[in-house]
Every structure is written in C-alpha cells, then in structure tokens.
Structure 1
Amino acid sequence: MSDLSHPEYHLPPTNEPLRISVRRLRWFRAAFQKFTQDLGAEIGCVFHLDEPKLAEIFVRWLRAIERQKPADKSARKDYFEFAAGLMLREFTADLPLKALSAPRNVAADSAAAFWPEGYVCTLFCLTVHAAAAEQEFHDHPDVAPAFDDLRQWWSFRENIRQDNGFSVGFLQLLLGHQPNWAMPDVFRARLQHEISEATPRPV
C-alpha cells in the first residue's frame, strides 16, 4: 500500500472536499479504522485501536494546524504537506494502535515488520495527504526511496523518543524533500529553510 497513486481507494467516501472531511472527527475516525483494517489485512497483522486516544490525537492535530496556519495563500500547498506531518507527530506522540500479532505477509527486514504501528500511522498520513493534494492541486505525491530504507525507520523511531517533532521531518523526507531538522515542526522555519536551499550560493 506504499503506492499512493490511488489514495482515495483506502479512504471512506465523502461528499465534501477531503480537506473539510478530514477535520470532522466522525470521518477521521472512520478513515483511520478502514485504513488500519485494509493495511492490517495486507500485511497480515491484527491491531487493537484505542478510540479515545484517536479522538485526542484528532483534537491536538486540529489545534496544531490552526495555530500555524499561514496567512499567505501562496504557502497553501506547502502547508498541506506540513499539516500531514503534524498529523503524524500527534499519532507518534501517543500511538492509538497496538499490534496483536506479528505481520505475517511482509519480509522480516521491512518497516511493517519492524514497527507495524508506526508504519500504519505513517502510511495513513501519507495517504490522506496524497488524496488531498490530488483534489486541491492535481498533484500526485509519491514516496521517496527512503520509504524502503529500514535505517530511516529505525532513526525515526529512536529520534521521536527525544523530540516528537522529528515525525514532521520524517514525513517530509518520505515525500522526497530535505527537512529542516533543527525545527521540523515549525512551519515558518521550514519556509525559511526552503528559501535558503533555493538561493544560489556565491561562487
């Protein structure tokens, strides 16, 4: 399910734009439940979902995206991706999933086997982002080779123990971008980092 070419297949239908639906707890809960069931069946793993934790994650995420929402409309596309990273940050702060069995249908050295709960939450955030980006910008995000690098997942899991903001940078890395690791969960710092990276250096 790391293929993001048809992200809507793994999410519940909605009559609203996804950017609106994802801000409604009922849809968010249904989407995460469906996604967990689908991906769990694919990798051969059964999960227990803590619904109160999921609701708390949703509330924290809404507050976080409203707090950093940029006034500049030209930053809207960048902020969609950043919001997905904030979602992952809230998931990894207090994971709502617990694997009840080891994944049976994946390689032992895969990310899904290494950390099934983190794998599901990360792919959910990527999928929601891909579906929203397709709707809003006719963009088709894909995952970078880092997605299949177990060392990146190991680093991700270790680093969030020290700073959960690392989750935002990790999602950005999976989408093929170079994060601002100093302040990965501060949107203004991210924009400044991207500007500095794009500015030609003197010879």
Structure 2
Amino acid sequence: MIIRSPEPEVKILVDRDPVKTSFEEWARPGHFSRTIAKGPDTTTWIWNLHADAHDFDSHTSDLEEISRKVFSAHFGQLSIIFLWLSGMYFHGARFSNYEAWLSDPTHIGPSAQIWRASGITSELQLYCTAIGALVFAALMLFAGWFHYHKAAPKLAWFQDVESMLNHHLAGLLGLGSLSWAGHQVHVSLPINQFLNAGVDPKEIPLPHEFILNRDLLA
C-alpha cells in the first residue's frame, strides 16, 4: 500500500478582471467623493480634488480594495519618477555642454554635470538613457493598470509577509542594488579610469561593450 501525502491546496491569490477599464469617469472629476463630484464652488475644490484622490480610506471601507489601490498607486509613483529621470537626462543632453566639458574640462566650465561618475561619455548616451527611462515609465504605468484592472491581488496576498518581502526586498532592493553595483564596477569604473588617463571620450568603448565584449572584460 502506497501512502501519498496530500497535495498542497493551490490558492488563487489574484482576481481576474475585478474592475472594468473605463474612461468615462475621467470626464467626471471628483467622482470618488460626493462632495467634490458636485462641482467647484470655491478654489478649495481644486485642492480637495488633488488631496482626496489618494485618500483611499475615505473612498471605501473595504480593506482589500484599499490595498489594491495603494499597490497600484505605487506603480504610478514609480512611473512619475522614471518620467522625471527621463526629463533630467533629456535636458542634460539637449541643453548642457557635457561633451565639450568632458573633452576639455580645464578650459570649459561645467554646467552641473553629474554623469561622468556613471560612465556616460556622450550626449547620445544621455538621449538613450532618457528613452530607456520613458520605456520604464510606460511599463510601470502598465503594471499599475494590470494589477488593479486585470489581475488584482487578493487581501490574503497583501497579508502574506513572505510575498510582500519577496516583492519589495528581492525585487526592488535586491535586484536594483545588484544592478547598480554591477554597473558601477563593470562599466563606470573602467570608463573613469580611461578618462583619468586622458583618453579621448570618443575613443572609449560604449558602456555595453564592457559587459558584452570578453576582451574588455579580461
């Protein structure tokens, strides 16, 4: 007689399509509050419209719904951060004298250049970084929509400490820190050694070559 251990019960921790995607509410500012939805009486309405939009406790008493809104709002915040970073890199590429200063730092004054330490040696790389940040901003915006409208976690997932730690610590802090550390060691440090040695920035290999080119890795 073979005794088999009972198979673990598979728990479904997400709801599929819990909230319909609709743009109709965009035409009704303040739809989340009866007072604000009545329309503006004074300029206070404008401030309340922005302040109460993320006061989720006043929208509903459902803890699961509040948790989902907070979770998706985090992705929206990350999207705004990436958009801000994209703008910073774009303005640095478009309006600064970074390349000129990098080629002759003793005679050309800097305009708040901070990208040398990151291993960036041209305006093209700044533009590419700006476009990459825009892509990540779009991905974060999609992730916020997806985790609220298409596959929203259940309350049990939010209350599971292991799940939350895996997401926040492993995903955000762990991978983020390792990626930045790897960039600093394998890309930024070699490029800055070339620059300190007086090598023309245009002759320095592109950043990705320090990771993909085995000759440079050696």
Shorter-chain TM band:
under 0.3
- Rg larger in structure: 2
Instruction: Give the TM-score taking structure 1 as reference length.
Output: 0.26
TM-score, with structure 2 as normaliser: 0.25
